[in-house]
Structure 1
Amino acid sequence: MITIRIPNPIRARRAKDPHQRDLSTSPNIPNPQPPTMPPKKPDPAQQTLSFFARRPLPPSSSQIATSDPFEPLNRSSRAPSLAPTAPPPRVLAVDIPASTLRPIAFRVFTKKHNLTLKSDALSLLCGFIGRRCGADWRDSGSGEKLLDEIAKQWKRNEGAGKILVDGGDALKGVLKGIEVAGREAKGRTPGLSRSTSFDFSAGEMIPSSMLMGGDPESQDVEMMSEEVRDSLEGVDPTEYLRIVDVFEMPKLMYNASRRIFERHPRPSLFPPPAAKTALFRHRYNLIHARLLRNESFMAPTYEKKTSTSTKKSYKLTPISALLGRYNQDFMLFGMLSITPSGTLSLYDPTGEVSLDLTYCHPNDTVWLCPGMLILLNGTYEESEHFTVFAAISPPIETRAQSAEIFGHVDFLGTGVPLDFSISGGGPQGRAMRKIEKALTDPVWLIASDVHLDQSPTLSLLRGMLTKHAEKPPQVIILCGPFSSAPLASREYKACFDSLAAVFAEFPGICEESTLLLVPADSDPWTMPTTTPVLPRPPLPKALITRVMRTVKRTRAVSNPVRIAYFTSEVVVVRDDVQARLRRNAVRVGVGEKGERDEMEVDDDDAPSHSPSHDASSPSTTTTATAPLDTPQLTTRKLVKTLLDQSTLSPFPLTVRPVLTDFASHALSLYPLPSTVVMADAGVEQYRVTYEGCHVLNPGSLGEERVCVGVLE
């Protein structure tokens, strides 16, 4: 059982709960500067970087350097307030030739946002950027940032369907709105110039130092005006709490050719056979597009010629292009799979190639299982085998980065687009974040393995509710299995009647709290000879009628279930995923020439190995005598594996059956949620933060463990 207190996410970036386990190896961030000091330029080393940006992939002859992206959300201190200073010098307008701006505009509008820019629109942008950014528009990067904001505002106004950008009234309206918003914010905030402010989508001018070093909205509730707090007294937080059943979610599929998400018809429980291939093709296209947006895979269109310029971009090679190119090094991306003959292969839409893992460096930061999408670095041999030297998972994309591309998309169907969770979304998004800051912190209670047929479980549940009787929690989430052994339907219903009797002792909780019942694989019944599938439907209402009469806000939800709270997204899933990863993980080692290491598969009792996670130390080669994993490293390994794969079930259908027409969107972890509750009975309680996403495991209620945590 885990007790979760949810503060507003903006304040949680600065204040760390004393009970939270700090799993980050990054140095502590210094205290913010006094309000009277001018803003300091953030240290690039403290920024959140992807796997490749933090530690570039070495050539095949070198060892792999591991990275540690598990950092707390408050990676940067609060941006200091700006002291009144002398007005900045005026930016002198310049004339920018269309031929000079065209390659940068093509990179931003076409390659990043999938928009086509006409010649009249390019001429209009040349004049606008020349006035706003001046002669330093290219060297400082201000012109590219301004183009990015214009493209995002165009997609918000016109939608993802209109990809042709012309110089008509629509683009002029976007530029005029940016100009007006800049003048208004410049009058409110002293010491800002046009060349240092780029958050035009939010209608406010925010210094670039704030955008890189901290959130400008990360002010305490006490710093808000009394008028704002008085206007929010009548707000009911339950109106902003939406429970999204995955069987009712809109089905949004990624279109690789148009590079947008398209709404598909309502999925079916009995889809055609093509749904199986569409499921894996959707995962491949989504992560492949995510890779191409990563800075490590983007060739720079403009680079200053300096002696210290050593930036290198990586290039992905399709498998079909390997034919005839023997003894050359390549980087491949595809799905790991085992052929019917028992050999390990890599698949992509163009073909397949057999893998030789004899000389592969062990990667103990993630599990590598068949069905996962991975990056391989190695050499294509004349025997038509690909000798692998490095195997890693694709770098992750944060929620803020996804919002820059698909901020206009409402993935949950709740009417709240993705860019509401960042400094965007217009007036409505700012209003929701302001309400979220002003309201008091609600409490969520989460417990797993609630065996209602055992009296100790009911006693523990009664004690948990007694502790929060004075201030009822906002949400109570109980995950199955709800019986420790298979029961008949009448006995199973009697268990929930006992649960209703426990809740009846706390009338305040019954009136004010929202109760969610998440089924497990054995709820309500599963045949011993069948393998349960994901997602699982809710519990039948006939079994929980008495609970629904006792607790007014009772919901039998699917597994997994998604919860939208203001601008945050919480995913709750009940699955024993770590045991499945251990059973199917491919374990490799470094072999000497002439000695071939056979591929091995981990079992439940086999210990896994992990190198040091110190980012400042050189990479470590792991051998068979490496020390055992600690629970902390195992937790990091589990979290990184799932979030990098952007799915809750990165397995083939023979290992983990899923409803193929629902799995592409119901089990997806793209865009990255704010919080993932991974209820896994075989794992100890944990709570870690990985690239801004909080992942926690409440543990089993029967183990009598209580963990007080903060869901940021």
Structure 2
Amino acid sequence: MDKLKKKITTAFKLSGYVIRSENATYLAEQLLPFEASEHDKWLTTVIENIQNLKITSTNIDRVVIDKAIGEINRVGLQEHETIFDVIDAFQAPRFVYNTQSKKFEYDKKPRSVLADPEMQVGYLEQRYNMLYQKTIRHELFSPSIIEKTSGQEVKKFKLLNVENLLASTELKECVVLGQLNQIEEGKMFLEDLTGYVRVDLTSTRYHAGFFCEGSFVLAEGSYENKVFKVEGMGFPPAEPATSSRAFFGTANSWGGKSEKLLKYSVALQEAERTNTDATMVFLSDVHLDDAEVLKKLKKLFIGYDSCPPVCIVLMGPFSTKANNFFQLVPLFKQLAEAASGCDQLKKETDLILVPHPRDPIEMDIFPRHGIPPPLCSDLLKAWPRTKLVSNPCRLQYCTQQILVFRMDLMARMARNAIHFPENKDIDNHFARTLICQGHLTPFARFINPILWDYDTSMWLYPLPDLVVIGDSCQSFSITQHGCTILNTGSFPKSGFSFKMYIPATKTIEDSEIPDGFPEDNVAPASSSEEEEAEEENVLDQQVVEEDVEQLAESEVVDIEDSEIPNVSPMENLEEDTEIQPDPYDELPSVSGLKKHQIPGALTEEEEAQIRMVQELELDSDSD
């Protein structure tokens, strides 16, 4: 190490730089894993990268060294291209559909949690326009009514607005795109940008999916007597991401540091294909106040220390009992302690914490801000690559787009559905609902409040490659229209199972933390403590044997040897049991036995006889 440090200091001096001893030590630690013959080559590369950084000072600190090493890992990538990035929901860009140019345009207006009043309906207008533009392009909706294709007649439909119905007395075969709302109690209405109309759902045939109040639907039926009698109801058609991106141009609709979308980067595609060892780990319901969960997390960290994944995503709730955020501080400290000793993991892996609506951080509204850094100060010191992100959040790995959302969506959909699917394949209904709605929470605002200015961060349009839902129901994975919907399930309820995603092959593996590791038991004692404990056990055993012999030979109490088991005094005591002092411990005894030394060995009658002898001995001493 000293020889390498001296070589580093000399090389930097020859290049006109000054590096302090601790920084030279840090760089030496980075070079040590390589062969000694390669040290000169890598040291030269680091210095060249520092020269390319165009720094103004000749003093080289650790930040500059990290940047230089980072440039080595970015061989072949442009300046704006990143292998992995975490995007907060409040940093995700907002694109608005321009009805004139038929394109999505980047909205540069400043956003706020306290949005302008017009955004109360504005965010619903933006969502409606997004669904309308992809629906009107579908092959079923075109200007012609009948089109002949290969000798077959394909029926087309004309998409109407609500105002078209209200302006007529009677219409047949109407198809309307609108939002289901209960404007009057007990009566359902279909609403779009032009108005609303009452709907009759008594004889409606429902297609696949969960139809909830607040969902956008395609309703087919007839209009008469100011009532739209719906015969069939479905969702807006799904659209592959490749088709959707054409209306965004080259703009980065996903978010991140790059101004251009990284989906088509050749260098990132090659990096994604060749890095077959890259993995991503997802867990939900990580209750840090559960001792068993912490044990399993420690196992997880130790297991991945030798082969660190790209990231480990932990989703809340992080406490089952906390009702204020100060109670989370010791829990995150315990999480930091669980990762102690896993230096390689903490060096190469991003730990991502996604809060649950029940975590006492802020009001129950989406998107939710991440956990405040002061609550995780111990964790951030122990694991500097910890990311405290929003719920939901976006991940970018090479060219892949991944969205993470923690919410019990399945139960909420089932609870608020106006019609429960007859088909028992609930997982497919769930996935189809999200993909067709293009939104994570397709509910009315009173069911699931939304921050108006940040509703677009909840969009699933264009469709990402992977949507990770941290739902407590049974885990599943379904792929539709090139988008995979993955539910991780509950970490403690599923026998401590979790999901591992392999980006190179776009595959998902079910994983489980087995029992039987040493971490399941009490931590082993030190060698000195073990020797002391062993000596105490030997002495206790000798005392017991002597007492048994004396008791057996006593003329006062006649007890057979077989009635007194040869056991350790502490064998039947639990670890947390506190031994109360015996009132007869300080009294002289014929046999020298103490009551708690052989638990359960004497009957009540025998104990009474011993006590009588002890009292007689006291009386004789006093005389």
TM-score range, shorter chain: 0.5 to 0.7
Change (3 A) 1:489 1:334: closer
User: What's 1:690 paired with?
Assistant: 480
User: What's 2:162 paired with?
Assistant: 319
Of residues 368, 381, 385, the one that matches 2:211 is 368
Local SS of the residue matching 1:437: helix
Of residues 425, 433, 447, the one that matches 1:641 is 433
Question: How big is the shift at 1:444?
Answer: 1.1
Q: Is the 8 A contact 1:446 1:477 kept in 2?
A: yes
Of residues 193, 199, 207, the one that matches 1:355 is 199
Q: Distance in 2 between matches of 1:302 and 1:385?
A: 28
Which letter maps to 1:610? E
Which letter maps to 2:196? E
Which letter maps to 1:652? A
Which letter maps to 2:394? R
Question: How big is the shift at 1:709?
Answer: 4.9
Q: Does 1:444 align with 2:280?
A: yes
User: What's 1:396 paired with?
Assistant: 238
Local SS of the residue matching 2:288: coil
Of residues 374, 382, 386, the one that matches 2:228 is 386
User: What's 2:446 paired with?
Assistant: 654
Q: Which runs of 5+ in 1 are unaligned?
A: 1-230, 588-607, 612-628
Q: Distance in 2 between matches of 1:390 and 1:689?
A: 26
User: What's 2:256 paired with?
Assistant: 414
User: What's 1:337 paired with?
Assistant: 181
Question: How big is the shift at 1:337?
Answer: 0.6
Local SS of the residue matching 1:524: coil
User: What's 2:42 paired with?
Assistant: none
Q: Report 1:259-274 matches (<5 A).
A: 259-262=102-105, 263-274=107-118
Q: Is the 8 A contact 1:247 1:666 kept in 2?
A: yes
User: What's 1:505 paired with?
Assistant: 341
User: What's 1:573 paired with?
Assistant: 405
Q: Distance in 1 between matches of 2:267 and 2:401?
A: 17
Q: Is the 8 A contact 2:283 2:490 kept in 1?
A: yes
Which letter maps to 1:339? I
Once the two structures are superposed, what CA deviation does each residue of 1:351-409 show, in whole Å capped at 9, x if it has no partner?
Answer: 2111111211133x20111111100110111x211111100001101111112332422
Q: Is the 8 A contact 2:83 2:268 kept in 1?
A: no
Q: Is the 8 A contact 1:404 1:419 kept in 2?
A: no
Q: Distance in 2 between matches of 1:232 and 1:393?
A: 45
Change (3 A) 1:472 1:327: closer
Q: Report 1:408-487 matches (<5 A).
A: 408-414=250-256, 420-421=262-263, 425=264, 429-487=265-323
Question: How big is the shift at 1:668?
Answer: 0.9
Local SS of the residue matching 2:434: helix
User: What's 1:516 paired with?
Assistant: 352
Change (3 A) 1:486 1:542: same
Question: How big is the shift at 1:701?
Answer: 1.7
Which letter maps to 2:355? P
Q: TM-score scaled to structure 2, two decimals?
A: 0.65
Q: Distance in 1 between matches of 2:293 and 2:73?
A: 40
Q: Is the 8 A contact 1:319 1:332 kept in 2?
A: yes
Question: How big is the shift at 1:271?
Answer: 1.3
Change (3 A) 1:497 1:508: same
Q: Is the 8 A contact 2:466 2:484 kept in 1?
A: yes
Once the two structures are superposed, what CA deviation does each residue of 1:42-73 show, in whole Å capped at 9, x if it has no partner?
Answer: xxxxxxxxxxxxxxxxxxxxxxxxxxxxxxxx
Local SS of the residue matching 1:497: helix
Q: Does 1:535 align with 2:367?
A: yes
Q: Distance in 2 between matches of 1:284 and 1:271?
A: 19
Q: Distance in 2 between matches of 1:419 and 1:264?
A: 17
Q: Distance in 1 between matches of 2:390 and 2:350?
A: 15
Which letter maps to 1:455? A
Change (3 A) 1:318 1:417: same
Q: Is the 8 A contact 1:561 1:573 kept in 2?
A: yes
Q: Distance in 2 between matches of 1:232 and 1:493?
A: 35
Q: Which runs of 5+ in 2 are unaligned?
A: 1-71, 507-623
User: What's 1:610 paired with?
Assistant: 422
User: What's 2:90 paired with?
Assistant: 247
Q: Distance in 2 between matches of 1:549 and 1:420?
A: 32
Q: Distance in 2 between matches of 1:467 and 1:298?
A: 57
Which letter maps to 1:637? H
Once the two structures are superposed, what CA deviation does each residue of 1:319-356 show, in whole Å capped at 9, x if it has no partner?
Answer: 11123341522111111110134310101111211111
Q: Distance in 1 between matches of 2:190 and 2:260?
A: 34
Q: Distance in 1 between matches of 2:327 and 2:176?
A: 54
Of residues 477, 487, 490, the one that matches 1:700 is 490
Which letter maps to 1:398? P
RMSD between superposed Cα atoms in Å: 2.5
Q: Distance in 2 between matches of 1:285 and 1:475?
A: 36
Q: Is the 8 A contact 2:361 2:371 kept in 1?
A: no
Which letter maps to 2:482? G
Q: Is the 8 A contact 1:687 1:696 kept in 2?
A: yes
Local SS of the residue matching 1:377: strand
Q: Is the 8 A contact 2:279 2:500 kept in 1?
A: no
Question: How big is the shift at 1:307?
Answer: 6.7
Which letter maps to 1:693? C
Change (3 A) 1:306 1:251: closer
Q: Which has the higher strand share?
A: 2
Q: Is the 8 A contact 1:574 1:678 kept in 2?
A: yes
Question: How big is the shift at 1:653?
Answer: 1.3
Question: How big is the shift at 1:507?
Answer: 1.1
Q: Is the 8 A contact 2:254 2:261 kept in 1?
A: no
Q: Is the 8 A contact 1:411 1:417 kept in 2?
A: no
Q: Distance in 1 between matches of 2:217 and 2:278?
A: 39
Q: Report 1:54-133 matches (<5 A).
A: none
Q: Distance in 2 between matches of 1:440 and 1:353?
A: 54
Bigger Cα displacement from structure 2, 485-494 vs 644-653:
485-494
Once the two structures are superposed, what CA deviation does each residue of 1:452-502 show, in whole Å capped at 9, x if it has no partner?
Answer: 111011011112222222111110100111001125544320000000001
Question: How big is the shift at 1:413?
Answer: 3.3
Of residues 457, 466, 491, the one that matches 1:666 is 457
User: How many aligned residue pairs are there?
Assistant: 427
Which letter maps to 2:88? D
Local SS of the residue matching 2:220: strand
Q: Distance in 2 between matches of 1:521 and 1:345?
A: 30
Q: Is the 8 A contact 1:317 1:331 kept in 2?
A: yes
Local SS of the residue matching 1:640: helix
Local SS of the residue matching 2:429: helix
Q: Distance in 1 between matches of 2:477 and 2:93?
A: 30
Once the two structures are superposed, what CA deviation does each residue of 1:178-208 show, in whole Å capped at 9, x if it has no partner?
Answer: xxxxxxxxxxxxxxxxxxxxxxxxxxxxxxx
Q: Is the 8 A contact 2:354 2:388 kept in 1?
A: yes
Q: Is the 8 A contact 1:297 1:315 kept in 2?
A: yes
User: What's 1:167 paired with?
Assistant: none
Which letter maps to 1:386? F
Question: How big is the shift at 1:418?
Answer: 7.7
Q: Is the 8 A contact 1:433 1:567 kept in 2?
A: yes
Q: Is the 8 A contact 1:433 1:566 kept in 2?
A: yes
Question: How big is the shift at 1:297?
Answer: 1.4
Local SS of the residue matching 1:297: coil
- Identity of paired residues, percent? 29
Local SS of the residue matching 2:308: coil
**Structure number with bigger Rg:** 2
